[in-house]
Structure 1
Amino acid sequence: MTAAARFFCADAALERGDTLAGTAPYGSVWVLIEYRGGWPHNGFDGLGLAPEIKMLVFGAARKVRARILLIRRHGRLLPGGGPRRWAVLRHGTDGADRQVWGAWSRDQDLAAIVDALDAPGEPGHPPVVLVCAHGLHDVCCAVRGRPVGRALSERWPHLVWECTHVGGDRFAANVVVVPDGVYYGGLTAGSAVTTVEEHLADRVHATHLRGYTDLFPPQQAAVAAVLGRAGPAGRHAYAVVSTVRDHDFWRIRLAGRPPVAAVYDVEVRSRRTPPHRLTCQGKSPSSAMTYEVTSLRGV
Structure 2
Amino acid sequence: MNAMTHQFCAVESVRAGDPLAGTATHAARNLLISWPRSKWSRSLRKAKDMDPALAQQLDQLAADGRRVNLITRRRWPADLHRIYLFPEARSFDIPRHQLGEFLTAVAADGDLSGWNSSAVTTPLMLCCTHGKKDKCCAKFGYAAYRELARTARQEALPVEIWESSHLGGCRLAASVMVFPAMRKYGRVAPEQVLPFLRHEVADIPYLPCYRGHSLLSPAQQCAETAALRWLTEHNINAGVSVMPEQPTEGDDVTVTVQWRNRSDANDNEPVSGSLQVRCGTLEVVRLDTCADLDEGPSPSRCWVAKDIQPR
Give TM-score scaled by structure 2 length.
0.82
Partner-residue secondary structure (3-state), 2:272 = coil
1:136 is matched with which residue?
132
Q: Once structures 1 and 2 are overlaid, which stretch shifts more, 158-167 or 24-33?
A: 24-33
* 1:129 counterpart SS class: strand
**Distance across 2 between alignment mates of 1:107 and 1:241:** 46
Q: Which residue of 2 aligns with 1:281?
A: 291
The structure having more radius of gyration, on CA atoms, is 2
Shift of 1:231: 1.7
The answer to whether the Cα contact below 8 Å between 1:269 and 1:293 also exists between their aligned partners in 2 is yes
Q: Which runs of 5+ in 2 are unaligned?
A: 154-158, 263-270
**Residue aligned with 2:308, SS:** strand
RMSD: 2.9
Distance 1:102 1:201 in 2: 26
Report if aligned partners of 2:241, 2:258 keep a CA contact under 8 Å in 1. Answer: yes
Q: Flag the 1:172–1:124 CA change in 2: closer, same or farther, 3 A.
A: closer
8 A Cα contact 2:224 2:240, kept in partner: yes
Alpha-carbon distance, 1:245 to partner: 2.5
Cα–Cα, structure 1 residues 205 and 100, in superposed 2: closer, same or farther, change >3 Å?
closer
Checking the alignment, whether the CA contact within 8 Å between 1:29 and 1:179 is kept in structure 2 is no
Corresponding residue number in structure 1 for 2:30: 30
Q: For residue 185 of structure 1, what is the aligned residue in structure 2?
A: 186
Match of 1:248 among 235, 247, 251: 251
3-state SS, counterpart of residue 163 of structure 2: strand
Aligned equivalents of 1:155, 1:238: Cα separation in 2: 29
SS at match of 2:245: strand
Whole-angstrom distance in 1 between the partners of 2:149 and 2:226? 30
Identity percentage over the alignment?
A: 25
Name the aligned partner's letter for residue 287 of structure 2.
Answer: R
Q: What secondary structure, in the 3-state scheme, does the structure 2 residue paired with 1:242 have?
A: coil
Q: What's the counterpart of residue 81 of structure 2?
A: 84
- Alignment-derived partner of residue 223 in structure 1: 224
Distance 1:101 1:110 in 2: 17
Q: Distance in 1 between matches of 2:289 and 2:244?
A: 34
Give the counterpart letter for 1:86 in structure 2.
Answer: I
Contact 1:99–1:123 (CA under 8 A) maintained in structure 2: yes
Which residue of the partner structure matches residue 151 of structure 1? 147
Change in 2 beyond 3 A, CA 1:199/1:43: same
Bigger shift: 21-30 or 153-162?
153-162
**Residue identity matched to 1:279:** T
Query: Secondary structure, in 3 states, of the residue corresponding to 1:141?
Result: helix
Partners of 1:22 and 1:3 in 2: CA distance: 33
Gaps of 5+ in 1: 91-97
Deviation at 1:48, TM superposition (A): 3.9
Maintained 8 Å contact 1:205/1:228 = no
Residue correspondence of structure 1 range 1-299 to structure 2 within 5 A:
4=3, 6-36=6-36, 37-63=38-64, 65-73=65-73, 76-78=74-76, 83-90=80-87, 98-106=88-96, 108-116=98-106, 118=109, 125-157=121-153, 159-231=160-232, 237-246=239-248, 248-257=251-260, 259=262, 261-274=272-285, 276-282=286-292, 283-284=294-295, 285-299=297-311
Q: Given the superposition, is the C-alpha separation of residues 114 and 251 from structure 1 closer, same or farther in structure 2, using an over 3 Å criterion? A: farther
Q: Secondary structure of 1:21's partner?
A: coil
Post-superposition offset of 1:200: 1.1
- In 1, Cα distance between the equivalents of 2:52 and 2:80? 22
What whole-Å deviation, never above 9, does each CA across 1:84-106 have from its counterpart, x for those lacking one? 3111121xxxxxxx422222332
Q: Is the 8 A contact 2:9 2:287 kept in 1?
A: yes
Q: Shift of the alpha carbon at 1:142? A: 0.8
The CA deviation at 1:41 is: 0.8
TM-score by length of 1: 0.85
Kept in 2, the 8 Å contact 1:104–1:110? The answer is no
Distance 1:162 1:209, change over 3 A: same
Aligned residue type for 2:93: A
Distance, in Å, in 1 between the alignment partners of 2:138 and 2:300 is 23
Give 3-state SS (helix, strand or coil) of 1:161's partner: strand
Offset of residue 189 of structure 1: 0.9
> 2: distance between equivalents of 1:27 and 1:81?
27
Give deviations 1:27-82, integer Å, cap 9, x for gaps.
2122111011331111324544333332233323432x222110011xx423x888
